[in-house]
Homo-oligomer: A and B are copies of this chain.
Amino acid sequence: MYATRTKETAENVLIVGSMAFDDLELPSVNAKDVVGGAATYAAYAASLFAPVRIVAVVGEDFPRSVLEELGERDVDCAGVEHAKGKTFRWAGRYAANLASRETLDTQLNVFADFRPKLPASFTDSPFVLLGNIQPQLQLDVLSQIKTPRFVAADTMNFWISGERKKLGEVLSKIDTLMINDEELRQLADIHNIRRAAAAVRKLGPKRLIVKRGEYGAMLFDEEGVFFTPAYPLEDEVDPTGAGDSFAGALLGYLAAVGTLDGASMRRGLRLASALASFCVEGVGPSKLKAVERADVMMRVEALRTLTKTGG
């Protein structure tokens, strides 16, 4: 069922988003200067299944070795702008139960002046993941792509409250919106998830994916509702980037199978949930980037069993 084309025959996934350094205060450990950012996590995940193109900006302090490592995974970093100054930096502290976090510091640095410019070789990208950046920048990226087959976007409370009009324009141009349940409620101004999803789909996106962290993820599309649980981990270390890994995995999977029907989306969600669980098991992307397809498929099977009554 999960037979995908090899990466060589998969279509390309373009990812735009942040590349960053994170300082993480985790219940189990404190870690400084962890390479992170939405585009980084999403690229690690997607590149397990399809060739990836990143559009992002880094400063002079960003390690070349990371870009080289990404390159070895078929991640084309030609769209990563090297700007004068420091890389975007985020510092956060997680609660003991990892269920919430507080931002201790944000330094936009080179990200403040980020104006995504796509290399000519990127403009034919069929699969596009617009990471959580200013809606105008998401639109700028989209306008540079000729005929995308599938566009998914992420967003956040900050843009929902402050850039609603531009966000509305984004919504009218994408296939799939991927947000968490609180963002969905804020965007629709409806508490009930099901009715909120219906309201948001009327704003443009054919499909809505609601990320619910340890409680899994839901898909709302023309076939109805689909739900995948999160893989129940025995050891949760660091949820940073799990949502971005989820998004990257879904796009990578879709680019590999090349189909966008309801069954593909559902299988993609389950696979994305499986892959995101690995992300949570390590500090930063450490575990995520070590995972192989076979590991993911074992968890996909475990997720299938998890909701199967059998007999």
Binding site for B on A (CB under 8 A): 1, 96-97, 191-195, 212, 215-216, 218, 224-229, 232-236, 261-264, 266-267, 270, 304-311
Chain B contacts of A212 at CB under 8 A?
215
Query: Which residues of B lie under 8 Å from residue A270 when comparing CB positions?
Result: 309
Query: Can you list 9 contacts pairing A with B, beta carbon distance less than 8 Å?
Result: A1-B311, A224-B305, A225-B306, A226-B307, A226-B309, A229-B229, A261-B311, A266-B308, A270-B309
Q: Which residue of B lies closest to A300 (CB)?
A: B309
Given contacts A194-B233, A216-B229, A266-B310, 7 further A-B contacts (CB under 8 A): A97-B191, A215-B215, A227-B229, A262-B311, A266-B308, A267-B309, A270-B309
Closest Cβ of chain B to A214, distance in Å, is 8
Which 4 pairs across A and B sit closest by C-beta, in order of nearness?
Answer: A263-B311, A307-B307, A266-B309, A215-B215
Chain B residues, CB < 8 A from A96? 191
- Our pick among B1, B229, B236, B309 for the contact of A309 (Cβ within 8 Å) is B1
Flag if A232 contacts B194 (CB, 8 Å). yes
Contact of A232 among B225, B264, B306 (CB under 8 A): B225
Minimum distance in angstroms from A278 CB to a CB of chain B: 15
B228 near A310 with CB under 8 A, answer no
If the complex has contacts A96-B191, A192-B234, A195-B234, are A307 and B228 also in contact, measured as CB distance less than 8 A?
Answer: yes
Evaluate contact between A194 and B234: CB separation under 8 angstroms.
Answer: yes
Q: Which residue of B lies closest to A215 (CB)?
A: B215
Note all chain B residues with C-beta closer than 8 A to A194: 232-234
Docked-complex contact B263 and A309, CB < 8 angstroms: yes
Distance between A147 CB and nearest chain B CB, rounded to angstroms: 26
Taking a contact as CB atoms under 8 Å apart, the answer to whether B192 and A235 are in contact is yes
Question: Which of A266, A309, A310, A311 is the most central at the interface, judged by chain B CB atoms within 10 Å of its CB?
Answer: A309
Give which listed residue, B1, B226, B232, B235, contacts A218 with CB less than 8 A.
Answer: B232
Q: Which residues of B contact A305 (CB under 8 A)?
A: 224
Contact check, B264 vs A311: say whether CB atoms are below 8 A apart: yes
A188 to chain B minimum Cβ distance, whole angstroms, is: 13
Chain B contacts of A309 at CB under 8 A? Answer: 1, 226, 263, 266-267, 270, 304
Contact A310–B263 (Cβ < 8 Å)? yes
Q: Once the chains are docked, how many angstroms separate the CA of A193 from the CA of B1?
A: 30
CB neighbours of A306 from chain B (8 A): 225-227
Residues of B within 8 A of A267 (CB): 309, 311
Contacts of A229 in B (CB 8 A): 216, 227, 229, 307
CA A266 to CA B232, docked complex, whole Å = 17
Query: Chain B contacts of A311 at CB under 8 A?
Result: 1, 261-264, 266-267
| A158 to B189 alpha-carbon distance, docked (Å) | 36
**A34–B307 CA distance with the chains assembled, in angstroms:** 35
Q: Write the nearest CB–CB distance from A87 to chain B, whole angstroms.
A: 33
Q: What residues of chain B lie closer than 8 Å to A216, measured between beta carbons?
A: 215, 229
Q: How far is the CA of A53 from the CA of B265 in the complex (A)?
A: 47
A232 CA / B220 CA spacing, docked (Å): 11
